Amino acid sequence: MNDRIKDLLLNTFGKDCVVFNVSAKNFTSFKTGGELAAVVFPSEKKHIEFLFNLSKEGVSVRFIGCGSNLLISDDGFDGIMAITKKISGISRSEKELSVLAGTKLSTLIKFCIKKDISGFEFLAGIPGTIGGALINNAGIKEKSISQVVLFVEYMDKNGLWQRKGKNEIIWDYRYSGLREKSFFVFSTVLIGEKGDPDQIKKKIALIMKKRKETQPLVFPSAGSVFKNPPGFFAGKLIDQAGLKGFKVGGAMVSEKHANFIVNTGNATSTDVFNLMKYIQKTIINRYNITLEPEIELLGRFP
């Protein structure tokens, strides 16, 4: 990254909100990855507009929340990684919640418990932020975030701010049209229901209990690695193929949930990537089913 871009970043964000040449391990839930040329922490729309203008100059810009659905190459990323945690907050009007993109899903759950708002319990235990949840239509088997969306505000690929209703956006399994349409998802309006606080807490406790029993929360991971193919569960296919506990370097198929790859302590992103490829090859050879990654790959891989 050249000195001109570095100076622009420092002048725009301030020295406390820019970091140069830092390891991706500090910003991803996998705790892997190479060096990031620049990390910035935008906090308002003018910062997004500035980053958009840089992108038009050919500078690579990527946004992440908690880095929980992401595998960054060991070669790193020679662009600008913008972390959204300063674009965070929730406001309420009756049953509607206005939520900024960098708000953690766990923060939304705590807010709903405090305000006796039901309808969002299914998001309990899902790592990440509202922005990532919208782009990936996050959820569980029975319910996805698209079902509680009223509006989404985002900057489109032409640098224009848009506010679209739920029905103006394409939604699918672990996918939304925001992935192609948006440069940056800024906020959303969600609809909830007045709930009984004890029932809300009970639902969340049951969901969290199940997650702790079935998911490897002790090790660094990025959540479910593969999407469920139509009519099947990715984890079950991987389990039936006998891959639980299979390792490549420091990356291992979780013995608790086969659709999780965990970092046992010294994994590289290449280890994770090679394990993913091995799983895909095994499943297509055994079942003639292609597993599509749910996690995003950023950078150069073998």
Is 224 part of the annotated catalytic residue set? yes
Q: Which of 144, 221, 224, 254 is catalytic?
A: 224
Confirm if 35 and 226 have CB atoms less than 8 A apart.
no
Is 35 part of the annotated catalytic residue set? no
| Structure-token match 């969901």, residue found | 207
Q: How far apart are CA 131 and CA 40, in angstroms?
A: 17
Q: How far apart are CA 52 and CA 34, in angstroms?
A: 24
Chain centroid to CA 55: how far? Answer: 21
Q: How far apart are CA 101 and CA 111, in angstroms?
A: 15
Q: Structure tokens of 210?
A: 């199940």
Confirm if 159 and 182 have CB atoms less than 8 A apart.
no
SS3 (DSSP) at 125: coil
Is 187 part of the annotated catalytic residue set? no
Q: Which of 92, 174, 179, 211 is catalytic?
A: 174
Q: Which of 43, 153, 254, 294 is catalytic?
A: 294
Confirm if 217 and 211 have CB atoms less than 8 A apart.
yes
SS3 (DSSP) at 199: helix
Q: How far apart are CA 55 and CA 38, in angstroms?
A: 14
| Active-site residue list | 174, 224, 294
